């Protein structure tokens, strides 16, 4: 009887120790990212968007793509960077800063308008409806890719034991972008900026070197991976940074002003 009471007491105590109150778990809180690009978060202008024209944004470096053993005729940077500039001007500050008019393909635009006018006159005669006037820009955004320096910094490290070990190498290139705003009315350069972007390249490899048959024959295995940052992506990032810095520079010189009131894209 005494042993039975002790056994029941142990079972009761064990049950009390392992019993827990069942509660509803709390829902996880959504954490909003605070890392936003300044390209999107820059304040809008105080007024309507500024009408700008882009005629050209050329490669002025004269650099060719690096090649170790032969002459490479390919350019080191993109030859169509004006497309990045136009897109950056359209999208900066959620599209509230600039209205871009077509000037890169002005010849094609003019020919198409002339064709429409001729067809209307041919079918409708003197009563043909004329085309509306083209929008003109108050300022011109000009500049270009002014520098591309290869291997401004390079290095690496390696460690091997008994012929086995890893190796790491890296190099850095720098691309320079120049941007300026010119007044159509006076021809004065209102603001100008220069932006540099670093392009990184890294290589990791693993090597095994062994000598067999009394050291008379070598057995070697090497495996590696090289990652090069796309140069075109670096040019795009440099142009976007230059557009942001150009807006800041224009604000400092009183060309335009920021508006901190919330505005909606048109």
What is the CATH number for 194? 3.40.50.10610
What is the per-residue pLDDT across 206-229, written as a single tens digit (0 to 9) for each?
A: 777 777 766 566 667 777 888 877
**Ranges 61-75, 154-168, 193-207, 221-235, most confident:** 193-207
On the question of pLDDT at 46 being above 50, the answer is yes
What tokens appear for 20 in the block? Answer: 């827990």
Higher-scoring residue by pLDDT: 120, 37:
120
Least confident among 14-28, 114-128, 152-166, 241-255: 14-28
Q: Is residue 18 part of a domain?
A: no
Q: How far apart are CA 130 and CA 104, in angstroms?
A: 24
Sequence-ordered list of residues with C-beta below 8 angstroms from that of 192, at least 6 positions apart, any chain: 143, 178, 179, 180, 181, 246, 249
Q: Is residue 258 part of a domain?
A: no
Local confidence band at 35 (pLDDT 50, 70, 90 cut-offs)? very low
On the question of pLDDT at 12 being above 80, the answer is no
On the question of pLDDT at 14 being above 60, the answer is no
Q: Is 97 left (phi over 0), alpha (psi -120 to 50) or beta?
A: alpha
What pLDDT does residue 216 have? Answer: 65
Q: Is residue 6 part of a domain?
A: no
Q: Is residue 24 part of a domain?
A: no
* pTM attached to this predicted model: 0.73
Q: Is 13 left (phi over 0), alpha (psi -120 to 50) or beta?
A: alpha
Q: How far apart are CA 158 and CA 59, in angstroms?
A: 38
What tokens appear for 32 in the block? Answer: 């909003």
Q: Is residue 116 part of a domain?
A: yes
What tokens appear for 27 in the block? Answer: 């829902």
Q: Is residue 45 part of a domain?
A: yes
Q: Is residue 2 part of a domain?
A: no
**Strand ranges in 25-80 using DSSP code E only, listed in sequence order:** 50-54, 58-59
Residue 49's domain comprises: 38-252
From residue 222, give the alpha-carbon distance in Å to each of 57, 63, 170, 182, 219.
44, 33, 18, 55, 10
Q: Single out the residue of 100, 99, 103 nearest to residue 49, CA to CA.
A: 99
Q: Is residue 235 part of a domain?
A: yes
Please state the domain count of the chain: 1
């Amino acid at each position: 009887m005494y042993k039975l009471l002790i056994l029941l007491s142990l079972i009761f105590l064990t049950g009390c120790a392992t019993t827990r109150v069942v509660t509803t778990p709390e829902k996880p809180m959504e954490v909003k990212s605070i890392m936003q690009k300044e390209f999107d978060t820059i304040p809008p202008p105080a007024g309507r968007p500024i009408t700008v024209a882009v005629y050209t944004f050329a490669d002025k470096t004269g650099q060719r793509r690096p090649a170790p053993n032969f002459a490479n005729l390919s350019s080191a940077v993109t030859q169509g960077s004006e497309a990045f500039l136009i897109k950056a001007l359209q999208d900066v500050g959620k599209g509230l800063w600039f209205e871009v008019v077509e000037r890169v393909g002005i010849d094609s635009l003019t020919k198409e308008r002339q064709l429409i006018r001729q067809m209307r006159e041919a079918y409708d005669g003197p009563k043909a409806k004329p085309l509306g006037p083209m929008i003109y820009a108050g300022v011109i955004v000009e500049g270009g890719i002014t520098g591309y320096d290869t291997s401004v910094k390079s290095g690496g490290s390696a460690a091997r034991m008994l012929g086995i070990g890893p190796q790491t190498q890296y190099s850095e290139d720098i691309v320079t972008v120049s941007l300026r705003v010119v007044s159509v009315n006076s021809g004065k350069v209102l603001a100008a900026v220069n932006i540099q972007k670093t392009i990184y390249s890294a290589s990791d490899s693993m090597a095994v070197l062994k000598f067999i048959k009394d050291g008379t024959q070598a057995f070697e295995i090497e495996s590696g991976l090289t990652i090069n940052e796309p140069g075109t992506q670096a040019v795009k990032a440099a142009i976007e940074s230059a557009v942001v810095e150009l807006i800041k520079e224009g604000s400092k010189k009183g060309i335009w002003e920021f508006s901190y009131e919330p505005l909606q894209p048109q």
